[in-house]
Amino acid sequence: MYRYDAFDAAFVRQRTEQFRDQVARRLSGELTEEEFKPLRLMNGLYLQLHAYMLRVAIPYGTLDSRQLRKLAHIARTYDKGYGHFTTRQNIQFNWPALVDVPSILEELAEVEMHAIQTSGNCIRNVTADHYAGAVAGEVEDPRIWAEIIRQWSSLHPEFSFLPRKFKIAVTGTTHDRAAVKLHDIGLVLTRDAAGAVGFQVLVGGGQGRTPMVAKTLRDFLPKERLLSYLEAILRTYNLLGRRDNKYKARIKILVHEVGIEEVRRLVEAEWEAIGRETSLDLPEAERARIAAHFAPPDLTPRPAEPPALVEALATHRPFRHWLRSNVKPHRTPGYAVVDVSLKPIGGAPGDMTDAQMEALADLADRHSLGEIRVSHAQNLVLPHVAREDLPALHRGLAAAGLATGNNRLVSDIIACPGLDYCALANARSIPIAQRISERFADLDRQADIGPLEIKISGCINACGHHHVGHIGLLGVDRKGEEAYQITLGGRADENAAIGRIVGPAFDADGAVAAVETIVETYLEERLGPDESFLAAVERLGLAPFKARLYPDKRAA
Amino acid sequence: MALQVLTANRLRDGAVVYLSPDGSWVERVAAARAESAPEAVARLEAAGRAAVVAREVVEPYPIAVEQGEDGRLIPVRYRERIRAEGPSIRLQCDEEAA
Ligand code: SF4
C-alpha cells in the first residue's frame, strides 16, 4: 500500500502542529469560535449533537493492521471505546474532547493517517472499489489513480475553495462497487479498441436534496492525460458553479442546467487551453513510482477445496451461511476476498469496538497480509485470504462478533448516524436499522429473500444513500415527530438508478412494518428465487407494493 | 411563554451542558435554571453570550422544557431529549460490558 514520502510526512506533521497551536489559541481566547470553526473543519473536527466528532480519512478505503490498531488505541484512549465507519470509507470518532484532538492527530500521523480533506468545499477523500487489487477482471488497480488524484488535489490551492464539496470515485472493473455514478466525477478504468488503458469519465452524479445519476462526459480518456482533464473539469466548475445558493452549487446542478453537451464543450476547450499552457499530466516515472506501492501481492495458487474447508462446510451451518454470502472469488486461485460484517443482528451499522479492531488487525496479519479495506457499505474486507484458512478465520471473526453471514442481504443495512448523533438529522436511523435486522434475524430467511440493500438516511443530505437503496428510508420531520419516507428500486451499481417514492411517510413502527410488508409482497410476487428483489420491482413497478402498504387507498 | 432553559456545548470537550441557577454549566437538564418570563429568558441568553466570550461554551440557545410527573425538567422536542439523554441506542461497548 502507499507509504508517505518525506514530503507527505512533513506536510501532515506541519498541519498537526498548526492545529495544536490553533486549539491553544482558541482556548486562550485569541481566536473566537467564528475564527476557529473553519480551522477545525479543515482538520475534520465537527461539533455534533452530543460532542465533537472527528472524521479521519481512510484514502480509498485501504488500511493496514498497524493503522487499525492505532484506531483502536484512539477509540480506547480518547473516545468511548468505539468508532463508526461511514459510507465515505472514513471512520468517525463520536466523543473526542477538543483539548485531546491535537494529540489524536499526532498519533494518527505516526501511522500516516490524518483528517485532511474530510470536510469543507474541497476535493474530498477519493474513494475506490473496496475489492481493488484482489478480484479478477480489473483493468488496473483503481487505487493507483485514487492516490495520484489525492496527491494532485491535496496541494492544489485553487481547489480548496470550490463552490461546494467535490467527490471523486474510481473503479477498475465494469461491475461497479464504488458507486461511481453517484459522485461529482466517476472514473471507470477501461480499454479502447486498440487495448490502450484509459478512463470513461462520468460527471454530475450525486445524492442529497437533488439526486442525479452521472452522465458520460468522455467515453475514453487516455490514462496519461487524467490530471489535465480533471483540472479542466474543476476549472470549468470553479468558474461556472453557483456560489449564491448552496443547494445549487454542486456540479450536478451545472450539468443539469446547462446540459452535458455544453459542459463537454467547455471542458474540452479548457483542456485544450491547458495543453497549450503547460503539461499538468503526471510524468510516467512518477506514475510508476506510485503504482509500485500497489503491486499485487505475490501469491502462489493453492487448493480451491482444501479438506478443512470441505469439512467445515459439511458440519457447520453458520460457516455455510458466511461462506455463501461473505466470501468472494480472488484473482489468484485458492484465495478469497472476505467481507467482514459490521452489521450484527441488532447492532449499529458500521460501529466497531476497540477490541474488535484489535482482533481484526490480528486476523488480518495472520490471514490477509495485514491488509484491511473499508467498503462504502460500512463493512470491512480482508482482501487476500487463502481458502484453506477460511475455517480458522471464521472462528476468529465469530469470537470477535464479526462473522455475521449477511453480506448484501436484508440485514446488511447502511444507516447514517441520524438523530442519535447528527446535528442535522430529522429522525433516527440506527434504531430503525436495528429493528429491521432483528425482524429478519434468521439467516435462512435472509438467504431465501436474496440480495436486498436497505439504506437509511436521517435527513435529505443522504449520507445513508437512501436514494439508491433497493429499499430506501428517509427520515423526515412530520409536525415534530420522526417519520420515514420509503423509496423502492434505487441502485448504486453500473446501472445506477434513483428510487421512487412509494407513498406518504410512516412513523417508526409503521416504517419497520412497511419494510416487512414490502419483502412479503416481493416473496409472493416473484417469479421464483432467481428473480431478485430489484428485478421484481423493475418488472412489477410500484403498484403491488402500494396496494399492500396503503390498503385504504386505491393503488395508483 | 413556555418554560425555557439555556443549553450549549462546553468548549473544551463538546459536552452538552445547561445553565444552572448558580450560573455554572451542568450536564443534567434536570438541574438547569428554567424561566418562562420573556425578560428572564433574555437574561439566560445574555448569560450564554457572556459564557461564549468567557470561552466556557459554544453555540448557546434556549430550548422549551416541560415538567414531568415527578417535577423533573424534560425537553419538549425529541431532538433535545436525545441531546439530553445521549444516543437512544445501546452502545456496543455497553453491551460488551453488560
Ligand atoms: S443524512 Fe443527515 S442525519 Fe444522516 S448523517 Fe447525513 S446529515 Fe446527518
Measured CA to CA, the distance from residue A409 to residue A404 in angstroms comes to 11
Q: A-chain residues within 8 Å CB-CB of B60?
A: none
Ligand 1 centroid to residue B92 C-alpha, Å: 21
* Lookup: cell for A150: 489525492
Side chain identity at residue A119, one-letter code:
S
- Host domain of residue A332: 307-399
Residues A392 and A426 occupy one common structural domain: no
The protein residue with its alpha carbon nearest to ligand 1, atom 2, reads: A459
Residues A153 and A90 occupy one common structural domain: no
* Lookup: cell for A262: 455544453
| A119 lies in some domain | no
Per-residue pLDDT, averaged over A366-395, amounts to 97
User: Strand, coil or helix: what is A378?
Assistant: coil
Residues A171 and A208 occupy one common structural domain: yes
Q: What is the pLDDT of residue A241?
A: 66
Q: A-chain residues within 8 Å CB-CB of B52?
A: 33
Q: What is the pLDDT of residues A214-247, one digit of tens each?
A: 999 999 999 999 999 999 999 888 887 666 666 6
The residue ranking higher by pLDDT, A42 or B49, is B49
| A405 lies in some domain | no
Which residue among A267, A292, A317 closes a domain? A292
Q: B-chain residues within 8 Å CB-CB of A430?
A: 87, 89
Query: For chain A, what is the domain count?
Result: 4
| Position B94 pLDDT exceeds 60 | no
Residues A216 and A286 occupy one common structural domain: yes
Choose among A488, A472, A481, A477: nearest CA to A525: A488
| A116 lies in some domain | no
Q: What is the pLDDT of residues A62-85, one digit of tens each?
A: 999 999 999 999 999 999 999 999
Confidence category of residue A278, pLDDT binned at 50, 70, 90 = low
Ligand 1 centroid to residue A425 C-alpha, Å: 5
Residues A42 and A132 occupy one common structural domain: no
In this structure, what CATH number is given to the domain that contains residue A252? 3.30.413.10
Matching residue, cell 447528527: A422
| A199 lies in some domain | yes
CB contact under 8 A, A82 and B11: no
Sign of CA dihedral A213, A219, A225, A229: negative
Residues A352 and A425 occupy one common structural domain: no
Q: Which of B12, B88, B92 sits opposite A428 (nearest CB)?
A: B88
Instruction: Give the full edge-to-edge strand order of the sheet including A197-203.
Output: A127-128, A168-171, A185-191, A197-203, A215-222
Task: Looking at the complex, report in whole angstroms how far the Cα of residue A38 sits from the nearest Cα belonging to chain B.
Answer: 14
Q: What is the pLDDT of residues B62-74, one digit of tens each?
A: 999 999 888 899 9
* Lookup: cell for A302: 493453492
Question: Which of A461, A473, A482, A485 most suits a substitution to test ligand 1, by most atoms within 8 Å of the C-beta?
Answer: A461
| A515 lies in some domain | yes
| A373 lies in some domain | yes
| A105 lies in some domain | yes
A85 Cβ under 8 Å from any chain B Cβ: no
- What DSSP letter does each residue of A431-462 carry, written as one string? HHHHHHHHHT--HHHHHHH----EEEESSTT-
Residues A136 and A277 occupy one common structural domain: yes
Q: Is A245 exposed, middle or buried (0-12, 13-18, 19+ CB in 10 A)?
A: exposed
User: Strand, coil or helix: what is A42?
Assistant: helix
Residues A440 and A494 occupy one common structural domain: yes
B78 Cβ under 8 Å from any chain A Cβ: yes
Residues A194 and A136 occupy one common structural domain: yes
Which residue among A374, A399, A424 closes a domain? A399
- What DSSP letter does each residue of B29-78 carry, written as one string? GGGS--B-SHHHHHHHHHHHHHHHHTTSEEEEEEEEEEE-TTS-EEESSH
Q: What is the pTM of this model?
A: 0.94
Strands B4-10 and A45-47, by their bridges, are unpaired
B59 Cβ under 8 Å from any chain A Cβ: yes
How high is the ipTM of this complex?
Answer: 0.91
| Position B98 pLDDT exceeds 60 | no
Residues A287 and A165 occupy one common structural domain: yes
CB contact under 8 A, B79 and A421: no
Task: Verify whether ligand 1 is closer than 6 Å to residue A178 (CB atom).
Answer: no
In this structure, what CATH number is given to the domain that contains residue A324? 3.90.480.20
| A555 lies in some domain | no
Task: Verify whether ligand 1 is closer than 6 Å to residue A461 (CB atom).
Answer: yes
Which residue among A84, A110, A136 closes a domain? A110
Matching residue, cell 455554572: B24
